[in-house]
Amino acid sequence: MKAFTYIEKGKFAMTDKPRPSIQSPTDAIVRVTLGSICTSDLHIKHGSVPRAVPGITVGHEMVGIVEETGSEVKGVSVGDRVTVNVETFCGDCFYCRHGYVNNCTSPHGGWALGCRIDGGQAEYVRVPLASQGLNRIPDSVTDDQALFVGDILATGFWAARISEISPDDTVLIIGAGPTGICTLLCVMLKHPKNIIVCEQSEERRRFIRNNYPDVLVTTPEECCDFTAAHSLHGGADRVLEVAGGPDTFQLAWQCARPNAIVTIVALYDKPQLLPLPDMYGKNLTFKTGGVDGCDCAEVLQLIAQGKIDTTPLITHRFPLSRIEEAYRIFENKEDNVNKIAIYND
């Protein structure tokens, strides 16, 4: 089968690999019907994910159809349409039982698919611990609608959840890339008083204005003044930092009001400075966390009810056989690309 493979630092290529088979009774084999490319794939390509193993098939955002299940797999059956969770987790350890599946202590746990083991930019993928890693897609939900449930939408849902948003809040979201937009959609479910999105790119600001006219939009330069002007208490009640730019962490705490919650979803290239003397007396609560995909079933229900729609994010479509072209466009941000759906041809 075709499998897009991490060859070495700087190089991905299409290779031919045998179809995966069940290795453990908790595995399932999924025929990938739709996948996508994530910024984390580019981090692997550029050698900035030390855990990534050369030779593995990349890709960790996908939906598909269950082809085969091991004898111990529960909750999904052959023929089911499923989302695949970016996280592999046991469901049974201390962290999993408390909903922190990202911190699963199983040796197989964490980001494995498309990083430490073969992922989903391929015709088929083996999903370990499949009872936890797969969620059945409701019949009324399309592959397009479900595509981001296991990764960037899970991230946005988690970020909105831990931010403890209430109806009186002004919520500032920094960054309107794909994960920023997923975060926005999940923040909207909490119906805060004001939502402000701060984004550097004019194209992305336009996307927010066109698709979500009730959301206020600002630039990094104007962000703090704009946020103060649209807040009741001199700054944002909740800040969700999704951008991960060189200065966006500083922007996040500076735009927050005293006693605010600042949630950091962004993945930074470099360590960030926490200037405690400058924020003395501000009594901020910082929360951090990457994707913690423990709510995928709930997210799928919200999609089925029409409460979350990520389909406007899909701006391009390519068959798997032309995925190199898709990477070029995604990596160089050509043609106003947002997310690219990769279908099996």
Site membership for Zn ion, residue 292 (CB under 5 A): no
Tell me how far CA of residue 254 lies from CA of 54, 248, 251, 258, in angstroms.
41, 10, 5, 10
Across the strands, what pairs with 287?
263
Residue 138's H or E segment, with its range, is: none
Residues 122, 126, 129, 133, Cα dihedral to 10° = 30
Measure the CA–CA gap between 138 and 115, rounded to whole angstroms: 28
Site membership for Zn ion, residue 189 (CB under 5 A): no
Q: Which is nearer to Zn ion, 20 or 120 (CB)?
A: 120
Site membership for Zn ion, residue 199 (CB under 5 A): no
Measure the CA–CA gap between 310 and 40, rounded to whole angstroms: 19
Q: Which is nearer to Zn ion, 20 or 35 (CB)?
A: 35
Q: How far is the CB of 61 from Zn ion (least distance, A)?
A: 6
Q: How far is the CB of 60 from Zn ion (least distance, A)?
A: 6
* Closest residue by Cα to residue 216 from 255, 162, 253: 255
Q: How far is the CB of 129 from Zn ion (least distance, A)?
A: 9
CA 168 to chain centre: 27
The site map against Zn ion for 8-27 (x = CB under 5 A) is: --------------------
Site membership for Zn ion, residue 122 (CB under 5 A): no
- Binding segment for Zn ion among 65-73, 102-110, 185-193, 214-222 (CB under 5 A)? 102-110
- Binding segment for Zn ion among 101-109, 212-220, 232-240, 299-307 (CB under 5 A)? 101-109
Cα torsion 41, 47, 50, 51: sign: positive
**Cβ-contact 154, 93 below 8 angstroms:** no
Q: How far is the CB of 161 from Zn ion (least distance, A)?
A: 19
Q: How far is the CB of 93 from Zn ion (least distance, A)?
A: 3
- Binding segment for Zn ion among 23-31, 39-47, 164-172, 183-191 (CB under 5 A)? 39-47
Q: How far is the CB of 311 from Zn ion (least distance, A)?
A: 18
Across the strands, what pairs with 75?
none
The site map against Zn ion for 138-177 (x = CB under 5 A) is: -------------x--------------------------
Site membership for Zn ion, residue 132 (CB under 5 A): no
Give 75: exposed, middle or buried? Use CB within 10 Å, 0-12, 13-18, 19+: middle
Q: How far is the CB of 102 from Zn ion (least distance, A)?
A: 10
User: What region, left, alpha or beta, does residue 244 occupy, with left being phi > 0 and alpha being psi -120 to 50 degrees?
Assistant: left
Candidates 32, 38, 195, 313; binder of Zn ion (CB under 5 A) is 38
- Binding segment for Zn ion among 12-20, 29-37, 104-112, 241-249 (CB under 5 A)? 104-112
Candidates 58, 96, 154, 313; binder of Zn ion (CB under 5 A) is 96
- Strands (DSSP E) contained in 175-273 are 194-198, 216-218, 236-241, 256-264
Measure the CA–CA gap between 18 and 70, rounded to whole angstroms: 19
**Cβ-contact 85, 31 below 8 angstroms:** no
Q: Which is nearer to Zn ion, 92 or 298 (CB)?
A: 92
Site membership for Zn ion, residue 40 (CB under 5 A): yes
- Total interface residues for Zn ion by CB under 5 A: 9
Q: In the window 56-95, what residues touch Zn ion (CB under 5 A)? A: 89-90, 93
Q: How far is the CB of 326 from Zn ion (least distance, A)?
A: 15
Tell me how far CA of residue 89 lies from CA of 20, 131, 133, 174, 181, in angstroms.
20, 9, 7, 29, 26
Q: Summarize as ranges the residues that interact with Zn ion (CB under 5 A).
A: 38, 40, 89-90, 93, 96, 104, 106, 151
